[in-house]
Amino acid sequence: MNLKELLNNVEYRTLRGNDQLDIREVQYDSREVKKGDVFVCIQGYVTDGHKYIDSACKNGASAIVLSEDVKHVPECTIIKVKDTRKALAVMASNYYGNPSKKMKVIGITGTNGKTTSAFMIKSILETAGYKVGLIGTISNYIGNKKIPSHRTTPESLELQKLFGKMADESVDCCVMETSSHSLYLDRTYGIKFSQAVFTNLTRDHLDFHKTFENYYKAKLILFQNTLNSVVNMDDKYGEKIYRDAPGTKVTYAVDREADVRGSGLNVHSRGINFNISYEGKTESVNLGIPGKYNAMNALGSAAACLCEGIDLRTVKKGLESMEAVPGRCEIVTRGYDLGYEVVVDFAHTPDGLQNILKTAREFTKGRLICVFGCGGDRDNTKRPIMGKIGTELSDFAVITSDNPRTEEPMSIIDEIVSGVEKHNYTVVENRREAIKKAMEMAEKGDVVVVAGKGHESYQILKDKTIHFDEREVVADIIRELTMNN
C-alpha cells in the first residue's frame, strides 16, 4: 500500500523523504521488520520504540513513524505524528481495509463479567441467525473457529488484522472485551461501537492506572465512541457512566428500575432462574450458570441484543442454549460421584472473589472451602482485602500461590494473611498441593471453590511458565484419591 494512503486520517509531517513509497507491511516491533516495511515507534510498558529505530532500519524499514525528536535516524523516510499509538491504530485499520466498518462491533467493559457477557451476546446473536466473531480473554472466534488469544484486547495492529479475517469470512457482528489497558493505550482507537456495555467497576489494575479515578476514566473512553451505551444501574459507577456518557443509553438492573429489568431470581447448584422484562414483555430464563452476578451479565447481554432489534423470545433461547464459559463458575466435577463439588473460577479481584463465594454459598449444603491466592507484579493493595473476604465468606480457606511472576510466593501470601482476622485457614504454597488439601478435606455436601486462574492453562513462575490447567489438576487428584481409597 502507498504510504500516503496508509496515513489517511492521520495528521503528520514528512521530515525526510516522501510519502509516495510503496509499503509492504506495518510493524511496531523492530524484530518483525523486513525490507519495505514501515516501523511505528510506540511506547510499551517497559521500553520505547524510538530506541529501536536503528534496528528497524537495519532490518530494512523504508519509513519510520515517530513522535519524539531523535538525534540520528538512518537514511529512510521519516514521518512525525503527535501520537504514534493513535497513528498505529489508524494505519492498521487502513492497511486491512477498515474492516471494523464492515460489521457491527459490540464492546464490553467492566472489572468483572466481560468474558461471560461476550459469550452470552455471541450465543444470542447466533440464535438470531448472525455470523459472529468474538475477541476476548479466553480465545478469539470467527463463527465456530477458535483462534488463540494472548491478551484480553490485542494491540491495534493485531486487532485490525483479526477484524480483517472476520470481514473476509462475512462476519455480521463482533463481540469484543475491551480492557481498561486497551482503552487507555488506544488499541481500540477509531473503532465506532454499535453498543458499549458496562458491567461493573471494582478495585483492580491500580498497579497500572495508579488511582481509581484513572481506572474509571479509562473505562469511560469506550462510551465516548459508541452509538448506544448499555449501563448496569445496580452498580454505583453505572450511575456515573450514565451521567458522563454522551448519546443514547439503555439501562439494566435487578434492584432498581431500569429499561431491562430482572426479577424472581432463584439460584440452584446448576444455574439460576429469573425473569427478564422489557417494554411490557417478560420471559422466564433458565440460565445454566449459577449466581446473581451471572443474571446481571445476562441482563446486560440481553439489553445489548434488544437494542440491536432482536426480540425477547430469541434472547431467552440464546441465553438458555449457551454452554458453560470456561473457568467462569465452572463445575469441574460433573460426571464424578464424589458427594462434593469443585468449582473453578477466574475470580482474582476482591469483588470477583466475593461474588463467587456468595454464589457458591447459595448451593452449598455442607461446608464451603476456598482455595485462592493473588498474582505477583500486580496491585498489592488488594491482597489483604482478598484475605479477609476469602476467610470471612468460606468455612475454611487454603491460601496458596497464584501466578507469582517475579515475586516470592510466600511474600505475596504473607500480605494476603495480613488481612485475615479469623483462624479458619491454612497456607499451602504449592497450588496443586493446596487444591489437593482442600479436596482431601471435602465431605458429602461440601463445595470447593478454586479461585483466581479459571480458564488459564499455565502458571507463571519467576523463571519459567509451566503447564497448569486446574480442570486437569482436579481430574488427576480425583484419580489419586480414588486409588488411595
Is 156 annotated to bind a ligand? Reply is: no
Q: Flag whether pLDDT at 204 surpasses 90.
A: no
Bridge partners (DSSP) of residue 196 are 107, 229
pLDDT digits (tens, 9 = 90+) for 324-382: 788 888 989 988 989 999 999 999 989 889 989 998 998 899 999 999 999 999 889 99
Q: Whose CA is closest to 341, among 369, 380, 301?
A: 369
pLDDT digits (tens, 9 = 90+) for 93-142: 999 999 999 999 999 999 889 999 999 999 999 999 999 999 998 899 99
Is 14 annotated to bind a ligand? Reply is: no
What's the pLDDT at 334? 82
Q: How far is the C-alpha of 152 from the C-alpha of 472, rounded, in Å?
A: 23
- For helices 470-484 and 431-441, what crossing angle results, to 10°? 50
Is 143 annotated to bind a ligand? Reply is: no
What's the pLDDT at 266? 92
Q: What stretch of H or E contains 15?
A: strand 12-16
Rounded to an integer, the average pLDDT of 304-322 is 97
* Secondary structure (DSSP) of 338-372: -SSEEEEE---SHHHHHHHHHHHHHT-SS-EEEEE
Is 431 annotated to bind a ligand? Reply is: no
Which DSSP symbol is given to 324?
Answer: P
Average of per-residue pLDDT values in the chain: 94
pTM of the model: 0.86
Q: Residue 231 — very low, low, confident or very high, per pLDDT cuts 50/70/90? A: very high
Q: Residue 214 — very low, low, confident or very high, per pLDDT cuts 50/70/90? A: confident
**8 A C-beta contact, residue 276 and residue 313:** no
- For helices 292-307 and 114-127, what crossing angle results, to 10°? 50
What's the pLDDT at 46? 73
Q: Flag whether pLDDT at 207 surpasses 60.
A: no
Is 110 annotated to bind a ligand? Reply is: yes
CA distance readout (Å), 83 to 89, 153, 193: 10, 20, 22
Is 116 annotated to bind a ligand? Reply is: yes
Q: Whose CA is closest to 387, among 378, 397, 395, 379?
A: 397
Most confident by average pLDDT, 137-151, 327-341, 389-403: 389-403
Cell of 92: 492498521
CA distance readout (Å), 408 to 374, 402, 470: 12, 11, 22
- In the chain, the percentage of residues whose pLDDT exceeds 70 is 98
Is 264 annotated to bind a ligand? Reply is: no
Q: How far is the C-alpha of 306 from the C-alpha of 281, rounded, in Å?
A: 12
Q: Amino acid letter at 319?
A: L
In the chain, the domains with their CATH numbers are 3-95 (3.40.1390.10), 99-320 (3.40.1190.10), 330-484 (3.90.190.20)
What's the pLDDT at 485? 67
Is 179 annotated to bind a ligand? Reply is: yes
**8 A C-beta contact, residue 386 and residue 451:** no
Cell of 280: 411490557
Is 148 annotated to bind a ligand? Reply is: no
Is 112 annotated to bind a ligand? Reply is: yes
Is 404 annotated to bind a ligand? Reply is: yes
Is 238 annotated to bind a ligand? Reply is: no
- For helices 409-417 and 383-392, what crossing angle results, to 10°? 60
pLDDT digits (tens, 9 = 90+) for 8-37: 999 999 999 999 999 999 999 999 999 999
Q: What is the CA radius of gyration of the chain?
A: 24
Is 286 annotated to bind a ligand? Reply is: no
Q: How far is the C-alpha of 33 from the C-alpha of 36, rounded, in Å?
A: 8
User: Between vectors from CA 181 to CA 205 and to CA 462, what angle results, nearest 5°?
Assistant: 60
Is 30 annotated to bind a ligand? Reply is: yes
| Widest distance between CA atoms in the chain | 77
Backbone angles phi, psi at 285, to 5 degrees: -120, 135
Is 405 annotated to bind a ligand? Reply is: yes
pLDDT digits (tens, 9 = 90+) for 70-82: 888 899 999 999 9
Torsion 271-277-278-284 (CA) sign: positive
* Strands, sheet with 248-253, edge to edge from the N-terminal-most edge strand: 145-148, 139-142, 132-135, 173-177, 104-109, 195-198, 228-232, 248-253, 260-268, 271-278, 281-287
Is 457 annotated to bind a ligand? Reply is: no
- In the chain, the percentage of residues whose pLDDT exceeds 90 is 82
What's the pLDDT at 419? 97
What's the pLDDT at 273? 96
* Choice between 265 and 205, residue whose per-residue pLDDT is larger: 265
Q: How far is the C-alpha of 470 from the C-alpha of 456, rounded, in Å?
A: 8
pLDDT digits (tens, 9 = 90+) for 404-447: 999 999 999 999 999 999 999 999 999 999 999 999 999 999 99
Q: Flag whether pLDDT at 458 surpasses 70.
A: yes
pLDDT digits (tens, 9 = 90+) for 267-312: 887 789 999 999 999 999 999 988 899 999 999 999 999 999 999 9
Is 426 annotated to bind a ligand? Reply is: no
